[in-house]
Structure formats: C-alpha cells, structure tokens
Amino acid sequence: MIDVEHLTKWYGPVLAVDNISFHVERGSVVGFLGPNGAGKSTTLKIMTCYLPASSGRVTINGLDVLGDSLALRKQIGYMPESVPVYPEMRVCEYLMFRAALRDIPRRARRGAVARAAERCWLSGPEDMTRRRLGELSRGYRQRVGLAEVLLHNPPVLVLDEPTIGLDPAQIRSMRELIGELAGEHTVILSSHVLAEVEQTCSEIIIIAGGRLVAAGTSGELRQRVAGPSHVVAQVQGPAPGEIVRAIGCLKGVSTVQHSQRDDWTRLEIHSQANRDIRGAIFDLVRRKNWQLRELRRATPSLEDFFVQITYEQSMKQTG
C-alpha cells in the first residue's frame, strides 16, 4: 500500500531525513515515532505531497507522490499537528468549504459533513457545528481537523499527533475511532504518547536523527530492549538462600536473583527459552507451605525500548 524507498530530505545544509525505507500494508494502523527533531513531520509532509523530497521515492497505492501528486491527494487524508482553520468561520461552514475543495458533489456535501461531524463528536447534544472556530478549545479544533480528514473517505489517513489537546475520555474515544477505521483505511499515526501507540497500532516505526532505527510490533520491540520476559515473585518462608535454591532447582529455571525487604524475599526468575514457569513456582510454594503475595510475568515496556534506541542513535551521531 505505502512504499518509502531511500527517502532523503535536506533543508539547506541540514539533513532532516536520512535515506529511510519502509513498507506499510493495506488496512494496518502504524505508529510513527521519534523524538523531537527526528524527521517525523518532514517525512509525513513528503508522503502527503506537502514537501518534495531531495531524493528517494514514495508510492501510495501505486501512485508516486511527485509524479501523481494531484491524483494521490484525493486518496489521502492528512491531519497536521497544528490544524489550520479560519477562526471567523463556523464549524459547519468550514467543513462545507473543505468539502467543496475536495470536489465532493454539491448534493452530497451536507451528508458528508453531517457524517464526519457525528463521528468526531461535533454534533449531538452539545452541538459545536454552529460555533465559530476561533471560539473552540484546541481539543475541539483537533476534532474539526479529523472531521475534515474524513470528509472524502480516503483510503489512507495520516494523523500527526491526533490526540494533542484532548482530555482522557476524548483520547479513549479517539483510540476507539482509529480502531474502527482500521481495515477500511490504512492509518499512519504519529504520537509522543507511547501507551496510546501501543494500544492502537499493529506495527511501529521509530526514527531518530533522521534515520530509521527500528520497526516491528510492540512485542518485538519490547523484547529487543531486555531480552525475554522474566517472573517476579515475593515469597515469605525460610532463609532467602533456601528459597533461591529450591526455585533454582525447578525445571526450566536458568537464573534467580533475590533481594530482601522485611520478611519477604523478592525474586527475579529467568527461564530457559522464555518458558512460563509461574505454575511450577506456585506449586512449589504451596507444597512448602510458604506465603506468596506476588507472582507475575514482567516484560520491558515500549518506553524502555524507545528511550534506549533513541539514546543509542544520539550517541552514534555525537560520537
């Protein structure tokens, strides 16, 4: 669906995007991550025909962003981080104006505006469609921007920080809406809220210093930061050394680390081939008549991986 090949962008002497390549499957929701100044917004603007690349190629649904720009714009809905609006216009007037620019037939415009406004929580009991855009909060302006993106029902949606300015309930609603759009649309989502990306996106692409540094599912990226998951347990029983020896003898256990707090022994237990050994630990504690107040499988977070990989890239560039 989307192919980015050796994309490079210079701003005079500044290299903003450095030879990145990736592929996005049709109907997927992809998180596009990176620290400030990484080249995210520049890449998205090139993909949506707002900026020319210095070199490289981007094709979307078989259309080239440079040679087929006019045809391609009809298939893309782009929501920038700061939604540009006319503050003196009312929401309904603005959406009708944008529908006309999108070449939506006159007889179909009101229906398209009504559907987009309802989907983005602008109509209903608290009808915002008659309000002037200059009177709206940033969160409501974000909703107007998303409604404008959905007017022509494009197959590709590019959303740059779509939840900025939204309250927690609105963020949850936005996540649900993006989930509904998956399959029907291909979505590229840029955000600094990693938990939001992890819950919303099927795949994640990370760039830092203008370079692509990682790509994969959130599970694959988490595992790269600290290897396989491990089991954390808190046990109360005999001397810590005896607990460690007993658990260390269980089948599949490779290493056991422990610390002491009050009368409880906290254990970090690593297994061979990433086996889930929680059942064996529970059975052992029960047979020994020890006390157990924690038993869980711990995995590294996407935030851990993001911090590590972007730090490593910054060290490469400064070194």
Q: What is the pTM of this model?
A: 0.77
Tens-digit pLDDT string for the chain (319 aa): 899 999 999 999 999 999 999 999 999 999 999 888 889 989 999 999 999 999 999 999 899 998 999 999 999 999 988 888 899 999 999 999 999 999 999 999 999 999 999 988 898 777 899 999 999 988 888 889 999 999 999 999 999 888 877 788 878 888 888 888 887 899 999 887 787 788 889 899 999 889 999 898 887 887 676 556 689 999 999 999 999 999 999 999 999 999 998 899 999 999 887 788 999 999 999 999 999 999 998 877 777 778 777 777 777 766 5
Q: How far is CA 152 from CA 16, 190, 268, in A?
A: 31, 21, 53
Domains along the chain with CATH numbers:
2-215 (3.40.50.300), 228-298 (3.30.70.1340)
Written as six digits, the tokens of 153 are: 């029902």
Which pLDDT score, from 0 to 100, does residue 286 have?
95
Which pLDDT score, from 0 to 100, does residue 319 have?
58
Percent of residues in the chain assigned helix, strand, coil, to nearest 5: 40, 30, 30
Between CA 75 and CA 77, with CA 76 as vertex, the angle to 5 degrees is 135
Q: Where are the beta strands (DSSP E) in the chain?
A: 2-11, 14-24, 29-33, 55-60, 63-64, 76-79, 156-160, 186-190, 203-208, 211-216, 230-236, 253-261, 264-271, 291-298
Written as six digits, the tokens of 74 are: 């009809």
Residue with tokens 């869980």: 296
DSSP 245-289: HHHHTSTTEEEEEEEEETTEEEEEEEEGGG---HHHHHHHHHHHT
Which residues, in sequence order, are bridge partners of residue 234? 266, 294
Which residues, in sequence order, are bridge partners of residue 231? 269, 297
Which pLDDT score, from 0 to 100, does residue 204 have?
93
Q: How many CB atoms lie within 10 A of CB 131?
A: 16
Written as six digits, the tokens of 127 are: 């009808």
Q: How far is CA 241 from CA 172, 231, 259, 267, in A?
A: 47, 18, 10, 11
Which pLDDT score, from 0 to 100, does residue 285 have?
96
